[in-house]
Amino acid sequence: MDLETMYQSLGVSSQVLDFAKKIEDTLKDRFEAIDSRAEYNQLKVVKAMQECRVSDIHFAATTGYGYNDLGRDTLEDVFARVFQTESALVRPQLISGTHALHIALSGNLRPGDELLSPNGKPYDTLEEVIGIRESVGSLKEYGVSYRQVDLLPDGTFDFENIARAVNEKTKVMTIQRSKGYASRPTFSVEQIGELIVFVKKIKPDLICMVDNCYGEFVETLEPTQVGADMAVGSLIKNPGGGLAPIGGYIVGRKECVDRASFRLSAPGLGREVGASLGLNQSFYQGLFLSPTVVAGALKGAIFAANIYEKLGFSVVPDGREERHDIIQSVTFGTPEGVIAFCQGIQAAAPVDSFVTPEPWDMPGYDAPVIMAAGAFVQGSSIELSADAPIKPPYAVYFQGGLTWYHAKLGVLMSLQKLIEAGVCSLKIL
């Protein structure tokens, strides 16, 4: 069976294949550049593991309190070296990116402090953490106030109003690197560094925290290398490489990470407790694979951008822009377009490909959300996945793919489903 016949056996028509082949042929130089960055980041991870003298003894499980967990402690040293920070907290007890962000914020904020967002409204699930939407246990309930500065119309930081917003109460500034459910561009590490330098001149003791989700290993630098006091993320996104079954990380200055650890466990206990429960090998090996996995996801995102841009849909980033995270948004303008796209991604999955995703009222969101994720790990968005709130402008957010070939199949299947639903056509091209 040849390649085209194999694709057709999975439901991709020859018309879709021919259309996509022409676009893929134009992306060879872009893909080579991605592979070059992945090679650098791969060597960076290997160097950190070698310097920490990682051995199979570090894969041993601990239970109970987790005292003297050599594998856990060494893994945190590896993360600190990779991100070039003083300290790291890498734990299965951090159950998601939102949880890791909550722990980092609540560990470093006190009653009377103010949290500043320089990029407008944060990602939906943080609204209840902060108290923008009322919720039990929010930072607002504990006396932490919140202020935000919206971005300029071109999606860049409003330095003038950020300077006005910083005051004697401002304790932490949280910078969301990726776009979330917004149409703005993702920030580059260079842009984040410029903002941090700017605010540190105004208030040197301001803690700058970066929500690094979806951005790890996309560039050769991380935010902690340009002045961020903390960077926070999820292990079922980029740095878990598709192998981590749960977990999150907080890297940064030792005092900031220590304060987060006391919030994660308990005052007086901090990072000394927390059993690894046999997950260390998955964490180490996932980190090892991460640069290559991220490269595959980036290729899929660029492929999708060029496919849908050619068809006349608005895409962010566009087909030519430099990438700073693995997320690709496509605006269809109708619920039917969003739903058909997600159903195509699901149909390309190795797990639950027979399931038809539908919108539902997902906790933490203010509108029904549709999620396509036939993943080995529930909610893993480094695996091929797509999700969208069912509200204007009806944009879908596509990410992941443990291999470029799987990401490619997902994009082809999404296009096939859109054609079958009558949302778009190849006839005019």
Residue 154's SS3 state is coil
* Other residues' Cβ atoms within 10 Å of the Cβ of residue 292: 18
Tell me the C-alpha to C-alpha distance, in Å, between residue 46 and each of 80, 215, 221: 13, 19, 16
User: Is residue 164 a contact partner of residue 157, using CB atoms and an 8 Å limit?
Assistant: no
DSSP 94-117: S-SHHHHHHHHHHHH--TT-EEEE
Residue 56 CA to residue 59 CA, distance in Å, equals 5
C-alpha 250/C-alpha 235 separation (Å) is 11
What's the rounded Cα separation, in Å, for the pair 76 and 306? 38
Q: Quick check: is 52 in a domain?
A: no
In a shared domain, residues 216 and 298: no
Q: Which residues of the chain have pLDDT under 50?
A: none
Q: Give the number of domains in the chain.
A: 2
CA–CA distance from 330 to each of 213, 327, 368 (Å)?
A: 19, 10, 18
- 57 in any annotated domain: no
Task: Indicate whether 47 belongs to any domain.
Answer: no
Based on the fold, state whether residues 18 and 90 are members of the same structural domain.
Answer: no
pLDDT for the residue numbered 211: 98
**Is the backbone peptide bond immediately before 267 cis, with ω within 30 degrees of 0?**
no
CATH of the domain at 130: 3.40.640.10
Neighbours of 187 (CB within 10 A): 27
Cα–Cα distance for residue pair 245/236, rounded to 1 Å: 7
Asked if residue 364 and residue 265 are part of one domain, the reply reads no
- Do residues 199 and 241 share a domain? yes
269 and 334 within one domain? no
This prediction has a pTM of 0.95
pLDDT of 124: 86
Residue 425 lies in a domain: no
Among candidate residues 117, 88, 369, the one with its CA nearest the CA of residue 235? 88
Last residue of a domain, one of 215, 248, 278: 278
Both 14 and 73 in a single domain? no
Distance CA 120, CA 352 (A): 36
Residues 127 and 238 in one domain: yes
Beta carbons of 169 and 114 less than 8 angstroms apart:
yes
Q: Are residues 411 and 384 in contact, defined by beta-carbon separation less than 8 angstroms?
A: no
Judge if 190 and 249 occupy the same domain.
Answer: yes
> Where is the domain boundary, 257, 278, 299?
278
Task: Find residue 70's DSSP bridge partners.
Answer: none
Evaluate whether residue 360 is within a structural domain: yes
Domain assignment of residue 415, given as a range: 3-42+288-420
The predicted structure's pLDDT at residue 429? 55
At 39-86, the pLDDT tens digits run 999 999 999 999 999 999 999 999 999 999 999 999 999 999 999 999
Please tell me whether residues 375 and 414 are part of one structural domain. yes
**Is there a domain that residue 427 lies in?**
no
Cis omega (within 30 of 0) for bond into 185 = no
CATH, residue 339:
3.90.1150.60
Question: 162 with 192: CB under 8 angstroms?
Answer: no
Domain termination residue (choose one: 278, 303, 318): 278
- Does 159 fall in a domain? yes
What one-character DSSP code corresponds to residue 416? H
Rounded-to-integer distance, Cα 156 and Cα 176, Å = 12
Is residue 173 domain-shared with residue 191, that is, in the same domain? yes
> What rounded mean pLDDT belongs to the chain?
96
Whether residues 75 and 190 fall in one domain:
yes
Residues 260, 160 within the same domain: yes
The pLDDT, as a whole number, for residue 337 is: 96
Establish if 58 belongs to a structural domain: no
- What is the spatial distance between Cα 130 and Cα 137, in angstroms, rounded to a whole number? 9
287-337 pLDDT, tens per residue?
A: 999 999 999 999 999 999 999 999 999 999 999 999 999 999 999 999 999
What tokens were used for 188? Answer: 């580059």
